[in-house]
Amino acid sequence: MDFDAAATDEEDDQWQERALCAQTDPEAFFPEKGGSTREAKRICLGCEVRDRCLEYALANDERFGIWGGLSERERRRLKRGII
């Protein structure tokens, strides 16, 4: 077994445990259509794993919720190079 690869996989999963959203009401990050995203984005601003979270959302085509401080629409724009 490749222990370096296993350690990397484990580290890749651990970022979610360090995320501030893991300690917050998940409803803030998955608002109803037309609901405010302000609180979730504020929390993301202070999160140490924000960049990793955004990378994950883009790589896994997350279509719902706030990830890495961006909404679904903002992530789509980022992927298209508009942001």
Annotated binding site for [4Fe-4S] cluster: 21, 44, 47, 53
Question: Under a CB-based contact definition with an 8 Å cutoff, are residues 44 and 74 in contact?
Answer: no
Q: Torsion over CA of 78, 18, 22 and 12, rounded to 10 degrees? A: 60
Which parts are annotated binding residues? 21, 44, 47, 53
Question: Under a CB-based contact definition with an 8 Å cutoff, are residues 53 and 47 in contact?
Answer: yes
